[in-house]
Structure 1
Amino acid sequence: MAPIVTLFAWAVPAFVAGSPVDHTWVTTYDNRQTAYPNDQAVAQAGQDYWYCWGGFHPTGGTPPNPTGFLGQQSGDLALARCYVRSNADSRQVPAARGTIFQYGVDGVCHQLANQVLWATAAPGQAALTVSNARGYMISTYIYGTYGLQTAAWAARIATCGGPAPPPATATMGGMAMAGPPDDFEARARAVLAGQPDTLANLLALRVDTRRFAAQAWPGATPSAETLNARNQHLLDQAAAVLRPDEFEAIFGVAPGTKVELIDPTMVPPDQGR
């Protein structure tokens, strides 16, 4: 019988001072009660810490959320460890990347944290996500809930023996789109209730956005600067189909806000060369 544990999701501000985006990660312990100094101490205590393409953080905390706590839910520890290796830095250990193989290309910390949290999915229980993190709606608009490597992610779930992802209802450019609304679509539908044309335009643009983002980059893998500029352009395109108040209600920032999802320190040194 696989051990069932409580998985906790956390946030700290992203790498840029004053950033409207949070970095997220997952643990098997409540760091409001016990704050370990490093992953060695976590492992020695028989606990798990998933870096999720970030550094080690003993505790969480953001300006609007002093503890950085994003949620907790029971989950299958063996599945979580199979999806993404714990107590290992994503920059150094490929197994700690899940199927966010290339940071900023396949997804960011939000998508990798959600992959760990897929271990909380069960019959009658939706998986926990880091949807309460700042910047989450921006990243999921571009990268989806679990990243752009949808085929690889489905294969990883199958290999680990986890519950199947939601059935796909359409395929765009080889990328399967989940049938039920994801976190972004649910937010968009709530904000744009009663405005079917605007909603349809935004969701159609999102399909195009994700198709574009999923395309293989020609030549060298892009730098963090290039990826941030690309993502900013995609976000600005969404602003063009929404009123300013609608855009802010969905994305959590005002139109035109500079948003950097990609932390340059997480990008391998040879990326962009």
Structure 2
Amino acid sequence: MTAEACAAKIAPDPVEARRFADRSEGLMAASTTTTLHAWATPAFVDGSPVDHTWVTTFDNRKFNYPDVEAVVSAKKYYWFCWGAYHPSGGIPGNSTGALASRKGKLPLATCLVVANADARQAPGARGTIFIYGVDGVCHQLANQVLYATGGGRSAPLTVSGARGYLASTFIYGTYGLQRSAWAASIARCSAAARKMPRAGGTGMPKQSEPDDFETNARRVLADEPQLLARLLSLRGEVQSFAAHRIPSSAPPPAEMLNSRNQHLLDEAARLLGKEKFEKVFGFPADQRINLVDPSVSGDK
């Protein structure tokens, strides 16, 4: 079964999903450029060493909307990114949870990932992270929205400041494991965005895709090219393994995915040793982390 078919199989009532998607379709602003803001809050529960991330077109430090209905009424945009609605952010060392902000192409962002819709109810709000925890997690989906901030020589913003990000991108990459679907989505949405009137011309040059994990690994292991090569080779093997579908009509449970992910991180720790692992990944090798939220994956 394909990822798309599996996602459709677990999707709820299509009428309800369409209702959520329609929220965004009727809100396209006259301006095609807006500022996109990336946010973070501890995932699952307070004290989690991993952050949940999401994206908005408003600064929630100034405009604190209580729910997505208020966002829609204000003609703003909120991307849930496989999570619940959060009026504001905040993580250790960053009381507001603000990760980054930059001007972006609104038509491209809303085409790549439907806004103002919960991914658990609206398939369009999943981008190409069709199955949560399998194709990627919130970090990859937030990055898909932020792809709209790139252009020319400027690489798109990412949520690289979120805790657990280097672990998630080691396994799932910057934009998730559905690479062919993601490339097709970019092509489709870029073509659609080019048809929108834009100030300063109509071109939308192809942009490079950032790889924050590799960039950091190259910095840390600059004096150890052989170890770097082995780590990047392991990462390729890890992603190939993670992309392999488990034969089932339902998504794997979060416990299984978290256990698998931890095993893959342990392999990197064995290769790097404790000191280098912490420098590459940003947390101690003996710290257990869960990248997949059971409440989002549908586990009871």
**TM-score by shorter chain over 0.5:** yes
Match of 1:171?
none
| Number of aligned positions between the proteins | 257
- Where in structure 2 are there 5+ consecutive unaligned residues? 1-29, 192-204
Which digits, 9 at most, give the CA deviation of each residue in 1:229-250, with x for residues without a partner? 0000000000001121211111
Match of 2:143 among 114, 127, 139: 114
Query: Quick check: 2:41–2:97 contact (8 Å CA) kept in 1?
Result: yes
Match of 1:136?
165
Cα separation, 2, equivalents of 1:161 and 1:202: 34
Cα separation, 1, equivalents of 2:71 and 2:121: 18
* 2:214 pairs with 1:185: yes
Query: Quick check: 1:9–1:72 contact (8 Å CA) kept in 2?
Result: yes
Cα separation, 2, equivalents of 1:243 and 1:194: 16
* 2:178 pairs with 1:158: no
Query: Quick check: 2:39–2:98 contact (8 Å CA) kept in 1?
Result: yes
Match of 1:80 among 101, 109, 120: 109
Identity between Structure 1 and Structure 2 (%): 58
- Where in structure 1 are there 5+ consecutive unaligned residues? 167-177
Cα separation, 1, equivalents of 2:62 and 2:277: 37
Cα separation, 1, equivalents of 2:164 and 2:299: 25
- Name the structure with the higher helix share: 2
Query: Quick check: 2:150–2:207 contact (8 Å CA) kept in 1?
Result: no
Match of 1:235 among 249, 265, 273: 265
Cα separation, 2, equivalents of 1:229 and 1:187: 25
Match of 1:175?
none
Match of 2:90 among 56, 61, 70: 61
TM-score, structure 2 as length reference: 0.83
- Name the structure with the higher strand share: 1
Match of 1:258 among 260, 265, 288: 288
* 2:66 pairs with 1:37: yes
Match of 1:225?
255
Query: Quick check: 1:84–1:115 contact (8 Å CA) kept in 2?
Result: yes
Q: How large is the Cα RMSD of the aligned pairs?
A: 1.5
Give the secondary structure class of the aligned counterpart of 1:161: helix
Cα separation, 2, equivalents of 1:256 and 1:228: 15
Query: Quick check: 1:106–1:148 contact (8 Å CA) kept in 2?
Result: yes
Alpha-carbon offset, residue 92 of structure 1? 0.4
